[in-house]
């Protein structure tokens, strides 16, 4: 902050070259940047900088006592009681809408152009280094920055968040701390076609904390499916959880071919999802979430994104298609909407926003935020078409979806977590399906790896039958996660899905049952690796008897123990 020079209003009126009588009116300080410069003028007419203040501030200006110095007119303003300065004539406007004077901005971080903020409709992509014409804005933040600019890109008019834009092209082309991070991400190989890590954006994300919605420091979470025997029996789950340290519940909203309640977003964007959703479920959701909140639990709604056969049936134009036939491509017994398609983004985000508004979910958890896996050979043979409108890599598309989802869902007061394969923790390469851990972690509120022990092959991390060694496996995995978090400028909380079901028989007929002792070993492996954000049980049946058999693992406050052990 520059040196403050104080002048009395009487002194200010000594210069009357452009006026006579006092005319005191309210004005707003305006600028083409976030700050407005105020000046002092001495008895010889020498102008000097007094201080910079955030634009948008209301002041009292004496527009009858202007001073003209070298063709520039200055008016005395009262900034606060008995603080007087001079402001340039063009820095004083009559309405709050006039305080933003910039007419063009440059894109620093690629971002969606939202043409309808109410429905999160995407009209285009504002790419790095691009110049956008500014035609309006929605609101001004306390630091003088614009929340969203209304911009024009060719024939497209829409809104872009100001946090992704800068005031000049040179700044827009820079990469965040290039000397530190570029060498890290350039070294990542694109062996399997997931895209160059270097193509993602690593500018820090402004983390949100909602005053009336606090995410627990560690979420100890039980997963609940939407079966009436589960969701309709919420009182039994509450009674059980209150005997443990469980503080969070994750409830399905939409899974592939298994939609929850008859959502308005489904009726509008995917009638097949709406048709297959159960009647009467809305009442179950309302009661369940309400009761969980009354008992002090944090409640997360889970939505699968890019594996949705019902959406493809409704809109085959958004699907990954066969090049030979033009028909939707079936993979792993399901049809996949293309993660490049912005209409798919919008449907899932609108469904999420509706669930937050209607039921009060604290957080939305997105699963299947990826391209289909095991398609390297199919892609090499040029069999399928992803309909990549913006010529993005997979890792870019996934990061940009997460960024868009976070912005839109934060606007309705909820957090966003994203599920990733356990493989995403591996160093050295981007995954074939577009999940690059640092790119996702840098944007979302919580990143949720899925290192289920029976998904690891024999000998992984040098562990024989890793599914029978949950502590050793999860600790080794967690240490690799720490490596990915370390190269992420603003890493998300890490909340890990843990295996809460027996080892699958096709993996090992003699595998562990994953009762209390085995589940506890998983969690302790994570905490001993320094991953302290908590866990979520993956047991697709959500069977209460199974959870009761694991009760010992859920009665431990792992974070408290970790803090004590590490003197935190």
Residue 9, pLDDT > 90, answer no
Cβ neighbours of residue 8 closer than 8 Å, sequence gap 6 or more: 82, 84
Could you tell me which residues are beta bridge partners of residue 493? 446
Residue 3, pLDDT > 70, answer no
Q: What pLDDT was estimated at residue 83?
A: 85
Cβ neighbours of residue 88 closer than 8 Å, sequence gap 6 or more: 37, 39, 72, 73, 74
Residue 464, pLDDT > 80, answer yes
Q: Which of 140, 38, 39 is nearest to 98 (CA)?
A: 140
Max distance between CA atoms of the chain, in angstroms, equals: 96
pLDDT band of 20, cuts 50, 70, 90: confident
pLDDT band of 82, cuts 50, 70, 90: confident
Q: How many CB atoms lie within 10 A of CB 217?
A: 12
pLDDT, tens digit (0-9, with 9 covering 90-100), for 93-127 = 999 999 999 999 999 999 999 999 999 999 999 99
* CA angle (353, 437, 462) in 5-degree steps: 135
Q: What pLDDT was estimated at residue 17?
A: 52
Q: What is the residue-averaged pLDDT of the chain?
A: 95
Q: What pLDDT was estimated at residue 13?
A: 39
- The rounded distance, in Å, linking the Cα atoms of 396 and 261 is 32
Q: What pLDDT was estimated at residue 19?
A: 57
Average pLDDT score over residue span 29-45: 96
Long-range contacts at 88-91 (CB < 8 A, ≥ 24 apart): 88/37, 88/39, 90/30, 91/29, 91/30, 91/31, 91/36, 91/37
Residue 372, pLDDT > 80, answer yes
Percent of the chain at pLDDT > 70 equals: 97
- Tell me which H or E stretch contains 488: none
In the chain, the domains with their CATH numbers are: 9-99 (2.30.30), 104-174 (2.30.30), 197-565 (3.20.20.80)
- The rounded distance, in Å, linking the Cα atoms of 341 and 319 is 8
Q: DSSP class of residue 210?
A: B
Angle, to 10 degrees, between the axis of helix 234-241 and the axis of helix 281-294? 20
Average pLDDT score over residue span 503-517: 97
**Minimum mean pLDDT among 17-31, 219-233, 335-349, 412-426: which range?**
17-31
pLDDT band of 18, cuts 50, 70, 90: low
Percent of the chain at pLDDT > 90 equals: 94
Q: What pLDDT was estimated at residue 81?
A: 80
Q: Which of 418, 420, 395, 405 is nearest to 481 (CA)?
A: 420
Average pLDDT score over residue span 170-198: 97
> What predicted TM-score, i.e. pTM, was given to this entire model?
0.95
Angle, to 10 degrees, between the axis of helix 342-359 and the axis of helix 281-294? 60
Could you tell me which residues are beta bridge partners of residue 321? 328, 385
Q: What pLDDT was estimated at residue 16?
A: 44
HSE-CB at 295 with a 13 A cutoff on CA atoms is: 22
Strands (E), 42-95: 47-54, 58-62, 67-69, 72-80, 83-88, 92-93
Residue 455 has phi, psi (to 5 degrees) of -95, -10
């Amino acid at each position: 902050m520059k040196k403050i020079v104080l002048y009395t209003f009487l002194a200010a009126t000594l210069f009357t070259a452009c006026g006579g009588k006092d005319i005191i009116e309210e004005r707003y300080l305006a600028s083409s940047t976030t700050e407005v410069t105020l000046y002092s003028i001495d008895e010889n007419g020498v102008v000097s900088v007094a201080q910079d203040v955030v634009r948008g501030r209301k002041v009292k200006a004496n527009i009858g006592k202007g001073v003209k110095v070298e063709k520039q007119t200055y008016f005395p303003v009262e900034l606060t009681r008995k603080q007087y300065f001079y402001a340039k004539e063009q820095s004083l406007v009559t309405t709050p809408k006039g305080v933003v004077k910039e007419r063009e901005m440059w894109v620093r971080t690629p971002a969606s152009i939202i043409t309808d903020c109410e429905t999160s409709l995407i009209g285009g992509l504002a790419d790095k280094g691009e110049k956008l014409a500014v035609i309006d804005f929605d609101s001004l933040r306390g630091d003088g920055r614009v929340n969203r600019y209304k911009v024009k890109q060719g024939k497209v008019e829409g809104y872009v968040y100001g946090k992704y834009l800068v005031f000049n092209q040179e700044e827009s082309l820079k990469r965040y701390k290039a000397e530190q991070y570029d060498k890290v991400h350039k070294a990542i190989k694109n062996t399997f076609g997931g895209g160059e890590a270097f193509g993602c954006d690593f500018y820090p994300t402004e983390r949100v904390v909602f005053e009336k919605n606090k995410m627990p420091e560690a979420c100890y979470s039980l997963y609940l499916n939407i079966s009436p025997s589960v969701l309709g029996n919420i009182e039994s789950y509450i009674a059980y959880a209150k005997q443990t340290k469980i503080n969070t519940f994750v409830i399905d909203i939409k899974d592939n071919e298994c939609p929850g309640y008859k959502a308005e977003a489904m009726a509008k964007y995917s009638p097949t999802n709406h048709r297959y959703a159960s009647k009467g479920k809305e009442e179950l959701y309302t009661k369940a979430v309400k009761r969980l909140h009354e008992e002090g639990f944090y409640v997360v709604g889970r939505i699968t994104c890019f594996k949705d056969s019902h959406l493809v049936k409704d809109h085959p134009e958004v699907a990954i298609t066969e090049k030979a036939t033009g028909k939707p491509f079936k993979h792993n017994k399901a049809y996949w909407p293309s993660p490049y398609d912005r209409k798919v983004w919008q449907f899932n985000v609108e469904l999420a926003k509706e669930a937050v508004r209607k039921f009060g979910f604290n957080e939305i958890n997105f699963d299947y935020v990826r391209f289909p896996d095991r398609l390297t050979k199919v892609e090499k043979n040029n069999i399928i078409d992803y309909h990549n409108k913006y010529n993005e890599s997979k890792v870019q598309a996934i990061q940009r979806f997460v960024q868009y989802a976070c912005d839109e869902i934060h606007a309705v007061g909820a957090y966003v977590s994203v599920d990733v394969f356990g493989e995403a923790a591996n160093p050295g390469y981007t995954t074939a399906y577009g999940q690059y851990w640092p790119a996702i972690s840098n944007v979302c509120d919580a990143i949720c790896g899925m290192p289920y022990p029976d998904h690891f092959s024999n000998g992984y991390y040098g562990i024989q039958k890793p599914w029978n060694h949950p502590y050793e496996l999860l600790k080794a995995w967690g240490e690799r996660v720490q490596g990915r978090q370390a190269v992420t400028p603003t890493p998300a909380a890490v909340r890990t899905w843990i295996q809460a079901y027996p080892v699958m028989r096709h993996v090992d007929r003699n595998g562990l049952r994953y009762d209390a002792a085995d589940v506890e070993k998983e969690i302790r492996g994570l905490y001993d690796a320094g991953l302290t954000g908590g866990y979520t049980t993956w047991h697709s049946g959500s069977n209460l008897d199974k959870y009761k058999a694991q009760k010992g693992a859920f009665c431990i406050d792992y974070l408290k123990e970790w803090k004590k052990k590490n003197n935190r």
